[in-house]
Structure 1
């Protein structure tokens, strides 16, 4: 692929990119290309292969509504099964021939004269009528800024880039971070390490993981009676949705979840001093709620230490904390999350006015219209864009809602011969003003914590502050009245290209 022209270019082959490719194909949009920097579909679930990796949303809900899987082994899917599911869906959907792997997007610029996106990749240049980003909010690992970390002589890697060549048996291991990945990693590492230090900045609320294997009978029933599986999925959805009022209206409504987390802590840790250090001082839901049955008991084991003193530096063979203690380490695992409010992909997308998305968002934080389109960036669609994240339910529900909106936008462009669609600035501003007005009363703003949901301005540009069914309703159709709609310009000669033409 030296130079190619297509109608629709999709970036990323995780849940978002795969869903977009399938639904565009179903809508009759055949000229679609998906570029993926990795070697396969899967995105997050291809890359995160650390020990114990699993989803914290039930399997029946964390899957496409149009591609149910009756063969989940557990109620909460382990990573290999989710990856295998995505591979199967891609294969059976018939769209894999539109995917190009091991191809990174290096630069994407809007060409106002040709009304096309000009996208430079590691394999060549692509001109596309629309640019659909499915790059994901949890795709770029965030490394900690710790003095001396570059001098560490042992093995060091991020949880999302697990080095399986490193044998942890009998080693002194340190895990920095106590978030969603860490609570899965720590119990697994503790089984083989000679000593494990877990470095905690702030504790999290951890509720039980009500996981169980599906029986053979259940799998057969799901396979033979699809309606039964849909009803099961629906019940899980509404159970998850019951968290929303406690997050967005009145934190006291989340008291049952808090009591559940406190009981989980009492059951897992008998030492009062350790229990105190593991008890958050903020409202439940302010940070991401974690789920685990084994994390607390692991921290109570003799060869595992919870370290709450701040890290001051890393030496060649130790982590040093503010109390002057040196913690000897052979392997250092950093489970310090991802770039969510400063997405790296935004630095590579340049809009109509010659500014990148990152520059556009620098002053006030990430902002989009309906989390999907951005003023100044014609024909650009972002799946899992600003303020579309969830703290309680399945992102696949959001992805399907956004993809339906994008497909309707493309259908509208075809029907009315619009060359460009770009949200009006006033419509985008009104959407975000309302969103952040609602955000002020949520637990993420009033719960007394600082989290990765917040950007450098203290604004929550990550989460959706309402019910997910409301999000789906608001994106149920493409609202052309909120957009500046451009007519085609007279065609001008341009160099011939290989592949399809837009």
Structure 2
């Protein structure tokens, strides 16, 4: 490829959240031109969208950051949301990424038109042709509302946790929270002192590990500033603890770690919930680690406050005055908060992606979302995913996961940009072989053996996560195996 042709090579990156920004940094370092298309009016993804009271990351601050952008200024061991959003925006500004972002430009269609080229259409119109497309749309962005009879009949205020209405005061209000995941267990302690009452509507209790969120003293931050190596050492330590040892315990490669996790969760429950009946109602029937663990030292004290109520009777309907449960009780409320999570299988949707021979990815993934090593799909040349099907998910840093995938994808993009190939896509055989191996290995993970259902399961009942160690994930995505690709 001539230098003139290489200069015209362009990549479309979909999404300016955490993984989109990192993708741009890697492409910029590789000397590859790109444009980021972002649906919203600011960068930051989930940390832009979610602003509910009490929100902080459940991964330690010094692990939940880019490898290339250490930050000595984190205020707490587990960062508050606003700090994380400011961190991502700051990285994008400092490294010159922000100027390459097209805000308020949601990709509505990406169509492969042949000869290695994709046509991108956004809400702003036709954006032209690109040589490759990288979907960095994140995992948790499409909110889910429960299908409850009468949901829209409620006479008070209601909203999803990711669309928090800050114009509504909760002071002296009767608040209902539907859901018991990480979001709900952060919101309840944050509002319990403000509201008249708060009722938590629980379908399934959760295992909670007791971890305080201590502030970093100024001397600690000064040490990080003066000796950056200390941050690097802490990053490596936390990576080994969470992304290696903890991840191994979930996939059957660290039974001792899984047992210790279960012991810690049960001890937390026994030590900190004093009423035997409440403790019983808060005790899960499944193995710890089967669902994403909740990290909190505040939830158990908060749910035992006089104005906090755990409601574990099934919701039958929502009425103008509140929520009615299967025991016949009407729980009168002023505000309902839906802490009911997201669709983790939305990926690129609602955009339409059309590959070779006019086949859409929605058609391809109609039965189950399957990809080659989580990053590519046969029939969709030069299309790559960050956080695609079977990416490692759980209580560890998605930023580390994203960087592994971004490094791998960047190597493939460089082959295209350097003129080694015009089109690259995985073979059908390699993709089927990989997914068959996943299906066998997943049976031995705690997500399947632990006795629960979770958002890790797709509609066909398959767990769509990485079923092996994190070390294998890093090794498998270190270098592309070109014998498993069709390259033209």
Report TM bin, short chain.
over 0.9
Task: Check conservation: 2:392, 2:470, Cα contact below 8 A.
Answer: no
Per the TM alignment, residue 26 of structure 1 is displaced from its structure 2 partner at its CA by 0.6
Is 1:352 aligned to residue 356 of structure 2? yes
Q: CA deviation at 1:460?
A: 0.6
Distance (Å, rounded) in 1 between the aligned partners of 2:437 and 2:106:
36
- Matches of 2:482 and 2:330 in 1, distance apart? 61
Shift of 1:40: 1.3
| 1:392 shift after superposition | 2.7
Which aligned segments of 4 or more residues in structure 1 are displaced greater than 4 angstroms? none
Q: Deviations over 1:308-344 (max 9, x none)?
A: 1111110112101111111101101000010113446
User: What does 1:113-262 align with in structure 2 at a 5 Å threshold?
Assistant: 114-126=115-127, 127-240=129-242, 241-249=244-252, 252-253=255-256, 254-262=258-266
Q: In 2, distance between residues paired with 1:239 and 1:115?
A: 42
**1-structure distance, mates of 2:74, 2:162:** 23
Write the deviation string for residues 246-297 of structure 1: whole angstroms up to 9, x where unpaired.
2111685312111111121123211100100100010111111001111111
Q: Which stretch of structure 1 is more off in the superposition, 476-485 or 436-445?
A: 476-485
* Partner Cα separation in structure 1 for residue 27 and residue 351 of structure 2: 26
Instruction: Report the equivalent of 2:406.
Output: 403
1:24-43 equivalences under 5 Å are 24-29=27-32, 31-43=33-45
Q: Counterpart in 2 of 1:367?
A: 370
Q: Deviations over 1:136-172 (max 9, x none)?
A: 1101111111111011121111001111011000111
Q: SS state of the match for residue 243, structure 1?
A: helix
Structure 2 runs not aligned, ≥5 long:
1-7
Measured after TM superposition, the shift of residue 51 of structure 1 is 0.3
Q: How many residues are treated as equivalent by the alignment?
A: 478
**Cα distance in 1 between the residues matched to 2:290 and 2:209:** 14
- Give the match's secondary structure for 1:440: helix
Q: Is the 8 A contact 2:58 2:395 kept in 1?
A: no
Q: CA–CA distance in 2 between the matches of 1:343 and 1:412?
A: 25
CA contact 2:178–2:337 (8 Å) conserved in 1: yes
3-state DSSP class of the match of 2:165? coil
Structure 1 97/6 Cα, relative in aligned 2: closer, same or farther at 3 Å? Answer: farther
Query: Is the CA contact (8 Å cut-off) linking 1:15 and 1:42 kept in structure 2?
Result: yes
Q: Distance in 1 between matches of 2:99 and 2:425?
A: 30
Conserved in 1, the CA contact under 8 Å of 2:56 and 2:79? yes
Measure the CA separation in 2 of the matches of 1:274 and 1:37: 44
Deviation readout 1:25-58 (Å, 9 max, x if unpaired): 11011x2100111111110011110001100000
CA contact (8 A) 1:342 1:358 kept: no
In 2, distance between residues paired with 1:121 and 1:133? 14
* Distance in structure 1 (CA, Å) of the matches to 2:69 and 2:393: 22
Note if contact 1:247-1:443 (Cα within 8 Å) is conserved in structure 2: yes
Distance in 2 (alpha carbons) for counterparts of 1:346 and 1:464: 25
| 1:96-125 CA distance string (max 9 Å, x none) | 11111111111221112x532112101121
Change (3 A) 1:182 1:251: farther
Q: Runs of 5+ in structure 1 lacking a partner?
A: 487-502
Q: Report what 2:450 is aligned to.
A: 447
Deviation at 1:484, TM superposition (A): 0.9
1:12 partnered with 2:15: yes
**Aligned residue in 2 for 1:421:** 424
Cα distance per residue 1:206-255 (max 9 Å; x no partner):
00123211122211221121111101111111111222332111685312
SS at match of 2:79: coil
Deviates most, 212-221 or 300-309 = 212-221
Q: Which residue of 1 aligns with 2:471?
A: 469
- Normalised to the residue count of structure 2, the TM-score between the two structures is 0.95
Cα distance between partner residues in 1 of 2:362 and 2:310: 37
After TM superposition, the structure 1 = structure 2 runs for residues 318-357 of structure 1, keeping only pairs within 5 Å, are: 318-343=322-347, 345=349, 348-357=352-361
CA contact (8 A) 1:141 1:160 kept: yes
Paired residue for 1:394? 397
Q: In structure 2, how many angstroms separate the alpha carbons of the residues matched to 1:359 and 1:312?
A: 35
Deviation, structure 1 residue 476: 1.1
Do 1:383 and 1:403's aligned partners in 2 also have CA atoms closer than 8 Å? yes
Q: Distance in 1 between matches of 2:254 and 2:265?
A: 15
**8 Å contact 2:179–2:339 — kept in the other structure?**
yes
Q: TM-score, normalised by structure 1?
A: 0.93
Question: Which whole-Å CA distance do the structure 2 matches of 1:361 and 1:346 have between them?
Answer: 13
